[in-house]
Structure 1
């Protein structure tokens, strides 16, 4: 049996195999039914990497059905791929009854995030960058790649992010781990400091396409565990860095807090390998919460039947209104 050196340890441990990983898992059995949701007393938040807002909003069906069927209070989108010079951009993907906010990068048709909020819900935008400060001017600063939107509600702060992919051959992993992740870590800490300093008893929710498969069973098994570790999103550096962000901010992955061993449960499937058809996917989309907020979480799950993108939406139910 092949062995590997455990991170931060001198102990050699067996290299995981497909069989050893699957032996740790259990079937996904949802804790709730759709009929359990009470829109008068609960809150529904959805995150979805749409892989291009223009295309999915023009095709209408899957995009609009998400709103008409699910009736979410907050929707966080990633990879909107909008361009700053497009005319009437505010009307693109407009949904009746919702306000929306865009963070659009400098590069045309690349990256980008958007947040929809029901107009009936009190909220304000705190910023569009990880360089969050309490300085009022920071709310007008835009992330160069359009990856961040921070919105404050009466009882929570939502941070919607499209985390950079480390790229083929992990060519961008140093930027991802040493720069972006450290900025993300600091941003969450500063938001908490801001909330504490202003006497606001609010919890922080970090959501979006976080581009990491934290557990061994958060992605399909391919070739060998060693080779899998060379893939963006599954390298030891990225996974350890993600865990560090959670640990330093006393946060948890909401889905795994509720379903620690459920697998396979995926939110992304590559078109190139017919991932959906072959059930070869990754869980890359998350709701990360402060541990103290978990007592208010009713459920967290994927909507794999929703098409239109190579990702599916992920849903968070809170037991109270925001």
Structure 2
């Protein structure tokens, strides 16, 4: 089991982090989320053109990089920390589903960024469903793909990433019960990786604030109550990182461990991410509640991600079943 990033993975992390810091800082995220499309198409084009991130896990014979899920987890951690708007996660989930169920026709378009795809996750709800070129839905052990159809934009908690009700159905493009089950587990790992990034950024923000905010002639970070809270948040970060790294490793190297590792990732990381984002907002005091401050954006992304793949009780029940409890 590998919990430490390789040199190549560290370099990938730095490349993505540096790109997002320059191309999509938080002021740009705010401008994008308030725009008509909800994201900056130029940033999304560069993500695919310069970094090739949408094709990261697409096999090389279909135009992608052929990287593993450990590399994907590194990228999603950084896009989560940056609160990247747009269809990157949606298209990533679609690529996972297509890769695992054997359909390859749509993968070249996903890899070169010309096809925006999404997956129906709950009922008829899909991330970035309004702007997706292709909507994939799981019908038992089959995968259906629909181009066009009715799309109804939803008002959601997280303003940085839009959702829509979509018309299910379409042509069957793949059929694999094992592939669908594995894809669902990989969805959990992918979302947990993004949650890890949101958690880390939330903690970094409040640590930085604690070093400059003065109350009663002392930096608030010097107060014992604040220090204890920050220490608890840091412990959650360390545990969450280990869980995500293990789950991503299992996806690549130990498929027999993937189901339980993925369920654990959603059980622990989802809740930990929300709690850290919540405490970060609270420790910012009154300013953290204002629209002008970024703390509420991390709080909303954390809550939206926590329930993206269903309520936490579903993942707890599945983990209990897998552990025969």
TM-score (norm 2): 0.25
Q: Hey, which of these two has a bigger chunk of helix by percent?
A: 2
Q: Which has the higher contact order (CA 8 A, sep 6+)?
A: 1
Q: What's the TM-score, normalizing by structure 1?
A: 0.25
